[in-house]
Structure 1
Amino acid sequence: MSLASIGQGALAARTVAAHRDSPTACDKQKRGLQVVTLLQKNWQDLIKPNKLDVQSGRDRSRVATLVAEPLERGFGLTLGNALRRVLLSSLQGAAVKTVQIDGVLHEFSSIPGVREDVTDVVLNIKEVALRLHSEGVKRMVLTKEGPGPARAKDIETSSEVEILNPEHIICHLDQDASVRMEFTADVGKGYVAAERNRTEDAPIGLIPVDSLYSPVKKVSYRVENTREGQILDYDKLTLTVETDGSVTPEDAVALAARILQDQLSVFINFEEPKKQVEEQQHPELAFNAALLKKVDELELSVRSANCLKNDNIVYIGDLIQKTEAEMLRT
């Protein structure tokens, strides 16, 4: 045997052994699935609330208490604090941003025939709750003659603006007094100070207003222990939310949760495997019309035909259901 042939044989043996020891594509896929399964256990094994219980307050559109249980220990505080901060700071709403009062040059003056000074009037204007049905700056006008209070319902608006607290008092007018105010409002989020609403080209007498856009007025939460099965140290989260009526408390919490979900998505550096549903394929059996033929149509002997008739075998379909042993007894 030559040295060349010996070398080729050794190379072939090493190649076969390496192929045998190297992981196949199937092995790699199995390992990958095992890793994914271990990853999923990080969040799939955690207990989650069965449902969100909503308990409405005196006005369902403004006040509600939401209860989520059971939660893993520590998650009540984590979720409650995160939702509260987002509810108060990150939801969009509408608010007045400027006001112009006829005969008034600045916020430190007074209005003839009006009990409140301009500073108090501006504070009352800030509390007017609005819902805007489209984006952009909206203009509104209030014209009122005394005596009596000027309320939010006296503000003239377009169909794109809705006053949510029409009975809110803006100012009180004396006998023979009158007032005319023009407002601008827009959509935003959080709190915007009056200085940011001031523009360089603003006309004299235009007073900027602190804008509190958040539709959520109050949020409080508490965490208590709750029971799930035999385990007593799970968390129960109770959220109490009050809004201005432009959004319901339940919808406000849903929006806050969606904002958190969107902000946290950037931290997820893997893709979740798609759920594969294995469907069993049931092949359809073709129907044979010959099974409905009568045995009388077969060319059988008289004795065979009588045996089948005595055993109530009328169709070929009846015949093929019989076993060989049953036929021998016929």
Structure 2
Amino acid sequence: MDQQQTFHIKQEEAKDGYGRFSIEPLAQGYGQTLGSAIRRVLLSSLPGAAVTQVTISGLKHQFGTVKGVQEDGVDLLLNLKKLRVAYSGDKPVKLELSAKGPGEVTASQIKTPAQVKITNPDLVLAHLATSQTKLDIDMQVETGSGYSPAEDRKTNKVGLIPLDADFSPVKRVNYKVEETRVGRLTNYDKLTMEIWTDGTINSADSLKKAAEIIIGYFGQVVSPSTAAAPVPTQSIAGSQSNSLTIEELGLPTRIANALSKNGYENVSDLLSADKAELAKVRNMGEKSIKVIEAALKEKGISWEG
């Protein structure tokens, strides 16, 4: 088969934040070639938006508390990191939250500019104890790709708390390669891809954007003097994986909170820990260790501790 022969892309399933696609027929070996490249770009290089820093009235640092708020500073920040924002502007924008108790506070109560949309408005941010309890939060949203650790935005301003920012709108990607038939011949590949997003972009658009990024790089290989240079992106692959934060792993809230409260802030902290000792941490256990191992494996990280 001519390796440039037309193949077909079909979206076999589409749900909120999920899509399954089949790509066939491909020359033998090209299923793995395309699948691996597209998956890597989907997870590391697509642009997105995230909250990068916050100011919470009455909270001077992340380990403090706000009177009348059930969550402590660490829990509040963990919840704010889960906020998913659709925004494509070049400049940072401000979001504001002003809530009064009693009751729970959700992301739907955040005031946003017209160009910003919160895609998980039901996210619970905090619980306020009484009618006298107030919670005021100012947030800054920026655009980027991959992830950006809070350390990159350290500040001496009291009360201004930088957050680890997960810009990637794609949360998970699976692919598999199978044999497919063309006439009597069976030595062709069928590539099936599953894409999960955070709702700020649909799966079909994310697949298209990933392909465009790859084309940009290969265009530069073919015609270095004329091809437009692709926009530089931050990658979470390779050695940088160790800098992923605990929140970036997508762990259940109970496990993420237990790790954060015991000083485990990123993947490198986990990799240096002994599994048996970690299982003894309060609110942890053998089942929690297995959940963590699965999350690390999903990111391509092996934990030998």
Contact kept, 8 Å, 2:7 with 2:26, in 1: the verdict is: no
Give the letter aligned to residue 61 of structure 2: H
For residue 203 of structure 1, the aligned residue among 148, 153, 157 is: 157
**How far apart are 1:56 and its partner, in Å?**
2.9
Q: 1:219 to 1:227 in 2, by over 3 A?
A: same
Q: Which residue of 2 aligns with 1:166?
A: 121
**How far apart are 1:124 and its partner, in Å?**
0.9
Q: Which residue of 2 aligns with 1:296?
A: none
Give the letter aligned to residue 51 of structure 1: H
Q: Given the alignment of the two structures, is residue 136 of structure 1 paired with residue 91 of structure 2, yes or no?
A: yes
SS in 2 for 1:254: helix
For residue 139 of structure 2, the aligned residue among 179, 183, 186 is: 183
Q: Which residue of 1 aligns with 2:52?
A: 97
Equivalent residues in 2 for 1:1-330, closer than 5 Å? 45-46=2-3, 48-59=5-16, 62-176=17-131, 177-199=133-155, 202-268=156-222
Q: 1:223 to 1:205 in 2, by over 3 A?
A: same
Give the letter aligned to residue 159 of structure 2: G
Aligned pairs, number? 224
**How far apart are 1:229 and its partner, in Å?**
1.1
* Rounded Cα–Cα distance in structure 1 between residues aligned with 2:144 and 2:99: 29
Q: What residue ranges of structure 2 are gaps of 5+ in the alignment?
A: 226-305
**How far apart are 1:58 and its partner, in Å?**
3.1
* Rounded Cα–Cα distance in structure 2 between residues aligned with 1:251 and 1:80: 16
- TM-score w.r.t. the length of structure 2 is 0.70
* Rounded Cα–Cα distance in structure 2 between residues aligned with 1:48 and 1:222: 21
**How far apart are 1:172 and its partner, in Å?**
1.3
* Rounded Cα–Cα distance in structure 2 between residues aligned with 1:213 and 1:270: 29
* Rounded Cα–Cα distance in structure 1 between residues aligned with 2:74 and 2:145: 24
Contact kept, 8 Å, 2:94 with 2:141, in 1: the verdict is: yes
Q: Kindly indicate which of the two structures has a greater share of residues assigned to helix.
A: 1
* Rounded Cα–Cα distance in structure 2 between residues aligned with 1:191 and 1:180: 26
Give the letter aligned to residue 197 of structure 1: R
SS in 1 for 2:15: coil
SS in 2 for 1:57: strand
Give the letter aligned to residue 137 of structure 2: M
Contact kept, 8 Å, 1:49 with 1:68, in 2: the verdict is: no
Q: What residue ranges of structure 1 are gaps of 5+ in the alignment?
A: 1-43, 272-330
* Rounded Cα–Cα distance in structure 1 between residues aligned with 2:163 and 2:171: 18
**How far apart are 1:203 and its partner, in Å?**
2.0
Give the letter aligned to residue 12 of structure 2: Q
Contact kept, 8 Å, 1:66 with 1:240, in 2: the verdict is: yes
* Rounded Cα–Cα distance in structure 1 between residues aligned with 2:122 and 2:223: 52
Contact kept, 8 Å, 2:49 with 2:88, in 1: the verdict is: no
* Rounded Cα–Cα distance in structure 2 between residues aligned with 1:211 and 1:67: 32
Q: 1:104 to 1:249 in 2, by over 3 A?
A: same
**How far apart are 1:47 and its partner, in Å?**
5.5
Q: Which residue of 1 aligns with 2:298?
A: none
Contact kept, 8 Å, 1:48 with 1:69, in 2: the verdict is: no
**How far apart are 1:188 and its partner, in Å?**
0.6
**How far apart are 1:160 and its partner, in Å?**
2.0
